Amino acid sequence: MKSKLFLRLNKEIWALALPNIISNISVPLLSTVDTALMGRLSAAHLGAVGLSSMIFNFLYWNFGFLRMGTTGLTAQSYGAKDFEQIMYTLWRALLLGLAIALVLFVFQNPLSDLAVLALQVQPGQIEMVKSYFFIRIWAAPAYMALLTITGWFFGMQNAIYPLILTAAVNVINIGLSFYLVNYQGMEIRGVALGTVAAQYFGCALGAVLFFIKYRGITFRIRWSRLFHMDTFHRFLLMNRDLFIRTVLLTLVFGFFYSQSSTFGVLSLAVSVVLMQFINWMSYGVDGMAFAAESVVGKYAGAHDELASRKAIQLIFAWGLLFAVLYAAMYGVFYQGLFRVFTNEMDVIMAGMDYRLWMILIPLLGFASYIWDGIFIGLTASRSMRNAMILPCIVFVVGYYLFQDTLGLHSLFLALTVFLFARGAVQTWMYWRKGLEMK
């Protein structure tokens, strides 16, 4: 009986994880191409695109709760076979996403000034960073809608449509960016414009895919049900907690980039390249985390505790395997992979001292990514929020303790400890409360 359950769960996990892994690998491929395009212009361009991307990572990743919250709530409604709540979850998230995009439009000028100040952008890079910002901000409505519809598809146990969306958006983005940078001479503006056009295309494609498969469960919206006090309040509280958690996470990476720039343009360029290594690792491991969101959420909604616990065990085992593979790949092919991102010899030479961190981060940090997916499936948003507090403190204190003696290495030490601490705190929370976490 148990072996049949494991086989069934493995099949479900991989049906969701494999498309997610393929999809997620294409995500850092996009930033890899952007980095490579700018890295062949100058170290200043390389640093500018890293900082510009960080601004939108801060703005947009903070609203990643639209995808996470939508996935968790939809998966639980799917497990409970509550198709009315499935659709209301989608509409609530879409409305919230459009409201967020409107706020970003209204405050785009002060946001750009604040971002430049917070990231301590060097004077010679401010014009490039702002040029990127004021173009890419126009993709906000499409991006929020994409987050929502992607999360909804995941909750419906459908990882194929998100793969199609991600692949289409990234192919168009890469092609347009390459053309605009290399053939139109638009430099960093070409990278931004390629992103905007691709995301609106993805939004339209998402709507088409939805109506192809799910038009049968659509129904006339009753506004009183859409904004029903209890369910809407739960929706807002969950998204509030996820928002706070994501803000803290993004502040950590924002602080990382900001402090990298204080060591000089060369150190910032090295950090931008090494962050691509971390992106490759995180998106690979996140394939399993996304599967956890959908599978654990479905069985939590169906109140099947045995299947939920066994799914968690299997997902952790696969996550560990991925972490070991990434660590081995970075250890063996570090120099060759580094050269993919830049041909600037001074950047390459400076980056050769950081191989150890790229080996340790997958091994010590993978658990935090897997737990995030599990917590989302359980809609344990409050626990996700609380699990960020201590690791954030450890990150900042650790950096300042070793800043003077280790230089840029102090940032990678602090980041490694931060990721490990997150996984440790989340493990402790699950050990205490199990599937009853909130």
pLDDT tens string 277-316: 898 888 789 889 999 999 999 999 998 888 999 999 999 9
In degrees, rounded to 5, the angle at the alpha carbon of residue 160 between the alpha carbons of residues 320 and 19 is: 25
The answer to whether the CB of 289 falls within 8 A of the CB of 372 is yes
436: confidence class by pLDDT, cuts 50, 70, 90: low
- Would the pLDDT of 13 be above 60? yes
Enter the DSSP assignment of 304.
-
- Domain extent listing, the chain: 2-436
The answer to whether the CB of 308 falls within 8 A of the CB of 13 is no
The mean pLDDT value for 330-351 works out to 85
**Over the stretch 52-97, which tens digit does the pLDDT of each residue have?**
777 887 778 788 889 999 999 999 999 998 888 898 899 999 999 9
Q: What is the pLDDT of residue 51?
A: 76
- Would the pLDDT of 41 be above 70? no
Q: How many CB atoms lie within 10 A of CB 1?
A: 6
Integer Cα distance of 120 and 125 in angstroms: 10
Distance of CA 279 to the CA centre of its chain: 9
The answer to whether the CB of 100 falls within 8 A of the CB of 144 is yes
Integer Cα distance of 156 and 152 in angstroms: 6
The answer to whether the CB of 322 falls within 8 A of the CB of 330 is no
Q: What is the pLDDT of residue 129?
A: 81
Q: Which residues contact 380 (CB under 8 A, 6 or more apart)?
A: 437, 438
% of the chain with per-residue pLDDT over 70: 91
Integer Cα distance of 98 and 143 in angstroms: 10
**Over the stretch 162-202, which tens digit does the pLDDT of each residue have?**
999 988 998 898 888 888 877 777 777 888 888 899 999 99
| Sign of the C-alpha dihedral computed for residues 177, 180, 182 and 183 taken in this order | positive
Structure tokens at 26: 């294409």
The mean pLDDT value for 410-436 works out to 91
Q: How many CB atoms lie within 10 A of CB 407?
A: 12
412: confidence class by pLDDT, cuts 50, 70, 90: very high
Most confident segment among 80-84, 118-122, 140-144, 250-254: 140-144
- Would the pLDDT of 120 be above 80? no
